[in-house]
Structure 1
């Protein structure tokens, strides 16, 4: 049954922050927490003095120390550990498939706000349909980051089926008892750049129309979650930039995973890319249905 929260643990400061955030989330959901150690150690020849027994002992220590710390913070939280032996991305994706949520740690860009999403995290996000949350050290519940009472921000796209993303965002806002802010950015059709006598009223009319479409998209969810206070932010411009701005002071940012493939690899789309790399809050990535 997919009810527990899973978190990747490797002993780093980033994974410790992710584990604390995941434990807090598991308490909110009233579900167990699973700590997963998935590190691909290059034993030879890069680290010739490190044997398999040393790696296993280090992995056990990382899991034990993290579990002990979290038990101290949340005595009633059920915590289990796993140490799979395959490739990290594949192992984490397999763990995600059996969980309600997967949490991963991520480094900030140059010590500033934002995420540095590595190949393991990106490969894991791409390989699973389970919601994945990325957490930085600054998002540590005991650090300077935001807490569960701060608002949840969700990026909505009127051109995409966003039911899974909106369900996740509204559920998070309800269990946290916090407001939800829906953010949508729109652009005028490219043809308007070539209109010699552009009427500003057209822009206002399009803006009003888009706002109505966003409201219509949110209406069923407002009815389903009447206790969640919802605000909307509809603007003309790049959605990623405004979501990054909205992330300052937010408790969680929720974005959809719109994948596209190219000869250079897999890309998450410009909005998700911008939010993942520059958001000041934990980021939840939700696969579109």
Structure 2
């Protein structure tokens, strides 16, 4: 099945920033870009026998607006990225199911998320969170205002530039479940950008050590830290061999990984985290670390689902 980079459009500044990021990602991957706008209007009141129907003129207005959003975005991106193959479509469906269906044909799905006013980070809406929690393909969230030069180091004069080397790609790695899909995505992203890969693993002392005074034993703590670092090195060794051009910086940090990944995002091009595919009676689940990164990271965040 032909693959692409897909982005969801809704006419908001955050979706346009996501579309621009998706265009650059498509060029990095040598893939076409697909723009998708889901325009179906959900009635907000219902009758007992089956709901309220929209009048034809309202449906026509919504369809016309969707086409305008698509056409304007396609025109801007075509001018900005002349070598990029772009296709666009409107889908008469609710946003979450429409985007989940579009993701099935994509290497990656890119969505916009509102930046928190005055604070670095995201405000993740119900559509984005619903897609992230259920998608079978990687989903990248891009906040409003994200520009190409944000991914790059400043030039020698300290000025933002898209012509300088990329900032680090940051990977949050769970050593209890070091899934190959997540690790490969991060190494591949770093390789395509000729960027360094910073791997962050958070760890804590086992609870039983506190009962025996272990938390107060510097030698024991140092040995445990060394064991964690060795496990991290062992987990990454095969991937260093597969991606010899990627320089890797390993960080085994004490405490939960979420806050450390948020800190690392401040000078990162991309943060990569995993999401285990597990369904509960109350819907799909997004883990605590991924939640923290989604809501507080200041760089684009790639959420990679895995078994």
TM-score (norm. length: structure 1): 0.93
1:249 & 1:186 partners in 2: Cα distance?
Answer: 22
User: For residue 162 of structure 2, what is the aligned residue in structure 1?
Assistant: none
Structure 1 residues 207-226: aligned runs within 5 Å:
207-226=225-244
In 2, Cα distance between equivalents of 1:44 and 1:276: 29
Question: Is 2:11 the counterpart of 1:11?
Answer: yes
* Alignment check: 8 A CA contact 1:260 1:268 kept: no
Report if aligned partners of 1:43, 1:52 keep a CA contact under 8 Å in 2: no
Note closer, same or farther for the CA distance 1:2–1:276 as it changes in structure 2 (3 Å cut): farther
What pairs with 1:5-84 in structure 2 (closer than 5 Å)? Answer: 5-42=5-42, 51-84=58-91
**Which aligned runs of 4 or more in structure 1 are off by greater than 3 angstroms?**
42-50, 258-267
**Is contact 2:14–2:145 with CA below 8 Å preserved after alignment?**
no
Q: Which consecutive residues of structure 1, in runs of 5 or more, have no partner in the other structure?
A: none
Look up the match of 1:231.
249
Question: Whose radius of gyration is greater, 1 or 2?
Answer: 2
Residues 1:88 and 2:95 are matched in the alignment: yes
CA 1:261 to 1:192, structure 2 compared with 1: closer, same or farther past 3 Å? Answer: farther
Please say which of residues 255-264 and 204-213 is displaced more in the overlay: 255-264
The corresponding residue for 1:268 is: 286
Q: Matched residues in 2 for 1:273 and 1:44: separation?
A: 29
CA distance in 1, matches of 2:104, 2:141: 17
Structure-2 residue corresponding to 1:107: 114
Q: Secondary structure at the match of 1:83?
A: strand
2:265 is equivalent to residue 247 of structure 1: yes
SS at structure 2 position matched to 1:159: coil
What is the CA distance between 1:202 and its match in structure 2? 1.2
Check conservation: 1:5, 1:31, Cα contact below 8 A.
Answer: yes
After superposition, the Cα gap between the structure-2 partners of 1:171 and 1:200, relative to the gap in structure 1 and judged at 3 Å, is: same
TM-score (norm. length: structure 2): 0.87
Cα distance 1:44–1:224, how it changes in 2: closer, same or farther (>3 A)? closer
Q: Is the 8 A contact 1:154 1:254 kept in 2?
A: yes
Indicate which of 186, 195, 200 corresponds to 2:203.
186
Moved more, 105-114 or 194-203: 194-203
Question: Is it true that 1:155 corresponds to 2:172 in the alignment?
Answer: yes
Could you tell me which residue of structure 1 aligns to residue 148 of structure 2? 141
Aligned length: 287
2:193 aligned with 1:172: no
Q: Which deviates more, 264-273 or 152-161?
A: 264-273
Give the Cα separation in 1 of the matches to 2:19 and 2:213: 57
